[in-house]
Amino acid sequence: MKVSIIKEPEFYKSVIRIMLPVALQQAINMGVNMMDTMMLGSFGEIQLSASSLANQYYNFFTILCMGIIGGSSVLAAQYWGAGEKEKVRETFNMALRLSAGVAVLFMILTWIFPGPIMSIYTSEEEVIVQGIRYLKITAFIFVIHGTSLVAAQLMRSVGQAHLGLIVSIISFVVNIGANYIFIFGKFGMPRMEIAGAALGTLIARGAEFITTFFYILVKDKSLGLRICHLIKSPSAAFYRSYFRLGAPVLVSDSLLGLGGNIVSVVLGHMGAAVVASNAICQVVDRLCTVVIQGVSNASGIITGQTLGMGNRKKAMEQGETFYFFSIVFGLLSSLLVFLFGPLTVSVYTLNQETVVLVHQMMNAYVVIVFFQAIQSVMTKGVLRGGGDTKFLMKADILFMWLVSIPLGAVGGLVLHWPAWLVMLCLRADYVIKSVWCVSRLLSGKWIHMADGISEKV
């Protein structure tokens, strides 16, 4: 199998300009998550498990926003590459309206039904009680975080990846300070423990919202998005164009988010120790794969912009180069998890059962992250940037829902397999998607251009 590797220095400069800020942003975000788990971990597995499960519910909302972003960024990147600024602004308008609508729905459900929501994830009463305390505060986060997340992520599509990095740095400082004050009750504040973690997150998301929209609506000159552009509703023709390429992304990401929540349900019903162990492993996983996230974002944006210019051949070469990157960084990430993952256990206050579980599950993550790298760059990057959204919807639905979830649920809840083996089963779709998506890449059938853009010979 011959893979073309681009040798042009300008290509690698473009990759680094997008990849580096995204990777740093992800590292900062994971640093915040690690500090959260460390602070709550000092109160034992119950509060750590409750915040982890409550955040899985919140992650479902985040994934829906990422679905809106994914569908919108396909259009934004291609229209930006074609020099169609007005259509890019219309894309932003539409994406913000969709995210705000979803956010309001989640806010209402979370405020009214926090108990039933936690009961989905676990049957342990203590965990449910602590989770309700967390959700009651996070209900107010959905609107401000959903809209700012969508706006900052879409700015990457127009070559401004630095905004997300700046916002994350501000969020990091605010979140760590607020968490320290409210979790432990410093500077005269009451000791709120898990509720303090939620309040710290709310304050940090508020800072993100103000920073993001001040920059986009006031400071930015390249896109020139202003409030007047957001008042006017996008045209019906534009919505049709979006749903042709973007609706499959929204559907696939929604089902992925729902599937991820079912994974949390399976683990939640295996006990608080399993949930706490997985929460620790996930932080290590994400810290060790920040570069992969950067490559994934860069691959989607650069491929989309290249197709916006009408250059199909160059997009093919770029896709194969990014595939090579995914293998290299996947191997490096697996090595990092293997070497440094077990060392993180010492920073938590855990009982011996949980310590053993963390070590076992960390070994499973060594395998998982390699295939995670390949499928992430393909599904969230190259193929999505090429507009191959209907194919990706099939890949996401089929393998998670027909293989991973049934296998993991039977293994964990019926056969009572060890947690590390259940986790491998729940991520089996990564392996299958890696093979299937690479085959799609090499076939060349993944390229679909947005309306109004034609191939240049």
pLDDT digits (tens, 9 = 90+) for 383-441: 988 888 888 888 888 888 899 999 999 999 999 999 999 999 999 999 999 999 999 99
Nearest Cα to Cα of residue 348 among 28, 32, 133, 34: 34
Q: Using CB atoms within 10 A of its CB, is residue 346 exposed (0-12), middle (13-18) or buried (19+)?
A: exposed
State yes or no: pLDDT of 226 exceeds 60.
yes
Q: Which of 43-47, 84-88, 197-201, 396-400 has the highest mean pLDDT?
A: 197-201
For residue 449, is it within any domain? no
pLDDT computed for residue 33 by the predictor: 64
pLDDT computed for residue 2 by the predictor: 61
* Residue tagged 């390949």 (tokens): 374
The pTM assigned to this predicted structure is 0.72
pLDDT computed for residue 4 by the predictor: 72
| CA dist list (Å): 321 to 8, 12, 438 | 11, 10, 12
Supply the range of the domain harboring residue 396. 13-443
Average pLDDT over residues 114-120: 91
pLDDT computed for residue 331 by the predictor: 95
Q: How many domains does the chain have?
A: 1
pLDDT computed for residue 31 by the predictor: 66
For residue 321, is it within any domain? yes
For residue 265, is it within any domain? yes
For residue 451, is it within any domain? no
pLDDT computed for residue 373 by the predictor: 94
For residue 448, is it within any domain? no
What single-letter DSSP state applies at residue 234?
Answer: P
For residue 178, is it within any domain? yes
| Least confident stretch, 318-327, 418-427, 447-456 | 447-456
| Least confident stretch, 48-52, 159-163, 451-455 | 451-455
For residue 406, is it within any domain? yes
What are the tens digits of pLDDT across the range 328-369?
999 999 999 999 888 877 777 777 888 888 899 999 999 999
For residue 43, is it within any domain? yes
Angle at which helices 428-443 and 419-426 pack, to 10 degrees?
20
Distance CA 91, CA 243 (A): 12
- Confidence band (pLDDT; 50, 70, 90) for 457? very low
